[in-house]
A and B are shown apart, each in its own frame.
Chain A
Amino acid sequence: MTEISAADVAVPVVLRVNGNEYRISAEPRRTLADALRDDCGLTGTHLGCEHGVCGACTVLLDGEPVRSCLLFAVQAQSAEIRTVEGLAAADGTLHPLQEAFWRHHGLQCGFCTPGFLMLSAGVLETRPDIGDEELREALSSNLCRCTGYQTIVEAVQSVRDAGEA
């Protein structure tokens, strides 16, 4: 018989985030975004619209960028998850994308930045020679209300061109 977890009971959930294992307890309805922020304490992942439009909550799931507000934590148990906390090196050295966003003014208020960084990381790691048009299309996945996007595009292009991601 297939196991069915009850609706109002938290179940043990194991998440692998940035190479670390988090053993948490979550109701099935808990989104991955909420689990990352509230149960794992990884508040770098931001929540904007919570229905898949803005992309602020983008994380990498087995290397591909996904909306963590559209996944339940229980669904993500067998996956390798990466969040913005995993980008910089342990000694604090910024990831090339973080450096490039800084250098190219790819952020202003910073709310959308974790989502854009993870989207960009996923795109460049899986499609390192992505063309300009395709890259703009990919970056149109997320919303930014400060920059006007051009500086974000330039930041990601510079990392692509340097082959650094």
Chain B
Amino acid sequence: MLDDEAGPQRRPAVVAVKPARFAYTAPDTVEDALDVLDRFGDEAKVLSGGQSLVPMMNFRLARPEVIVDIGHLGGLDGMSVSNGALTVGARTIHARLEAPAVTTPDGRSEPLGGVLGSLLPAVARFVGHLPIRVRGTFGGSIAHADPAAEWCILARTLDAEMVALRRGGERAIAAEDFFETVFTTSLAPEELLAAVRLPVLGDDWRTGFCEFSRRAGDFAVVAAMTAVRLELATGVIAEARIGVGGVAGVPVRLGDAEATLMGETPSADLHAAAAESAAGEVDPVGDLHGSLGRARVARARAPGAGASG
């Protein structure tokens, strides 16, 4: 508060700040960023769009010693397709997935078509609000590993691969091995998430995404994604993936519900059976929104039901 004697115009002598102190560096190249991470290990934290990290720092739930701002690094954003995979650069902002465009081998930009071209915008619109989507990044969300985050659910459902760089090396981590628990991944402190590879889904795939949250833009209380591959000749489900977020420390796949669908023809009864199976597979803990998860999973849209193409 202002000192009465100083009058209302005087600024306080001690300036309020939110986050704890940190050292700051903004490397120009990926190599420099990897050097810094190698040097500081778990004292360092990568800052990308900052839409999850900075709130945690403002609350002092996160108190990194060194912030490595990768906002000025080139080469980590944008999307491209090769070898049956869509590579999404870690620095790609959410807003770009609302109208995804890929860079072709000859350097042109063209809209991403196909099933992913429809799925990514349908999911992107659930990510935060517009000001969050123009700053926050795809890779930042995945590395932050909120179990209810849309991109984490998508990565787990589609069996994405995370591309991690370290000084002098690179490895691909399967989604199943990447998410360890709430806000915790298998990325080593000296590693930088550079990109995420999503399998390109053929035209015989059908997908759906459904989210329940208390208010538009909130993190999901629970969200579910389905992807099924249909034998087009017979209409039978040949492959099924169901991922759910908000029900455990990591986004989870529902193997029993997936098995319920396999080899069957989509129908309202089948969807109900799969949803029943799904509800039996999750045991969400209550949070400040109450114990809604279980009931919501049972009611989440079952695979194929009105799914986008």
A1 and B27 CA atoms in complex are apart in Å by 9
Q: CB distance B71 to A75 under 8 Å?
A: yes
Number of interface residues of A (CB under 8 A): 39
Shortest beta-carbon distance from B136 to chain A in Å: 9
Shortest beta-carbon distance from B1 to chain A in Å: 15
Q: CB distance A2 to B36 under 8 Å?
A: yes
Cβ–Cβ < 8 Å partners of B217 in chain A: 140-141
Which of these, B47, B50, B72, B130, contacts A141 with CB under 8 Å? B130
Number of interface residues of B (CB under 8 A): 43
Shortest beta-carbon distance from B221 to chain A in Å: 16
Shortest beta-carbon distance from A6 to chain B in Å: 6
Cβ–Cβ < 8 Å partners of B288 in chain A: none
Q: CB distance B23 to A28 under 8 Å?
A: yes
Q: CB distance B130 to A4 under 8 Å?
A: no
Q: CB distance B55 to A51 under 8 Å?
A: yes
Q: CB distance A31 to B18 under 8 Å?
A: yes
With an 8 A cutoff between CB atoms, is A138 at the interface? yes
Known: A28-B23, A29-B19. A70 touches B54 (CB 8 A): yes
With an 8 A cutoff between CB atoms, is B129 at the interface? yes
Known: A65-B131, A75-B69. A7 touches B59 (CB 8 A): no
Q: Return the CB mask of B1-37 against A: 1 if under 8 Å, else 0.
A: 0000000000100011111111111111000110110
Near B by CB (< 8 A), chain A positions 2-50 give 2-8, 11, 27-31, 34, 38, 50
Q: CB distance A6 to B131 under 8 Å?
A: no
A86 and B174 CA atoms in complex are apart in Å by 48
Shortest beta-carbon distance from B193 to chain A in Å: 19
Q: Give the residue among A70, A72, A123 with the most B Cβ atoms within 10 A.
A: A70
Which of these, A2, A27, A38, A58, contacts B131 with CB under 8 Å? A58
Shortest beta-carbon distance from A46 to chain B in Å: 15
A52 and B53 CA atoms in complex are apart in Å by 11
A3 and B27 CA atoms in complex are apart in Å by 8
Task: Identify the closest chain A residue to B93 (Cβ).
Answer: A64
Q: Return the CB mask of A66-79 against B: 1 if under 8 Å, else 0.
A: 11011110110010
Q: Return the CB mask of B266-283 against A: 1 if under 8 Å, else 0.
A: 000000000000000000
Shortest beta-carbon distance from A90 to chain B in Å: 25
A29 and B69 CA atoms in complex are apart in Å by 12
Q: CB distance B54 to A52 under 8 Å?
A: yes
Known: A28-B67, A138-B130. A52 touches B51 (CB 8 A): yes
Known: A2-B36, A5-B24. A50 touches B134 (CB 8 A): no
Q: CB distance B66 to A4 under 8 Å?
A: yes
With an 8 A cutoff between CB atoms, is A84 at the interface? no
Task: Identify the closest chain B residue to A8 (Cβ).
Answer: B21
Shortest beta-carbon distance from A40 to chain B in Å: 13
Task: Identify the closest chain B residue to A33 (Cβ).
Answer: B18
With an 8 A cutoff between CB atoms, is A117 at the interface? no
Q: CB distance A4 to B36 under 8 Å?
A: yes
With an 8 A cutoff between CB atoms, is A55 at the interface? yes
Which of these, B17, B51, B66, B135, contacts A30 with CB under 8 Å? B17
Q: Give the residue among B22, B24, B28 with the most A Cβ atoms within 10 A.
A: B24
With an 8 A cutoff between CB atoms, is A119 at the interface? yes
With an 8 A cutoff between CB atoms, is A91 at the interface? no
Task: Identify the closest chain A residue to B132 (Cβ).
Answer: A52
With an 8 A cutoff between CB atoms, is B180 at the interface? no
Q: Return the CB mask of B45-71 against A: 1 if under 8 Å, else 0.
A: 001001100110111000001110101
Q: Give the residue among A8, A38, A141 with the most B Cβ atoms within 10 A.
A: A141
A29 and B24 CA atoms in complex are apart in Å by 8
> Top 9 closest A-B pairs, CB basis?
A28-B24, A141-B129, A51-B55, A7-B21, A4-B25, A64-B134, A70-B54, A2-B32, A7-B23
Interface on B for A, CB 8 Å cutoff? 11, 15-28, 32-33, 35-36, 47, 50-51, 54-55, 57-59, 65-67, 69, 71-72, 125, 129-132, 134-135, 215-217
Interface pairs (9), CB distance under 8 Å: A2-B28, A5-B23, A27-B17, A29-B17, A29-B22, A31-B58, A72-B54, A123-B130, A140-B129
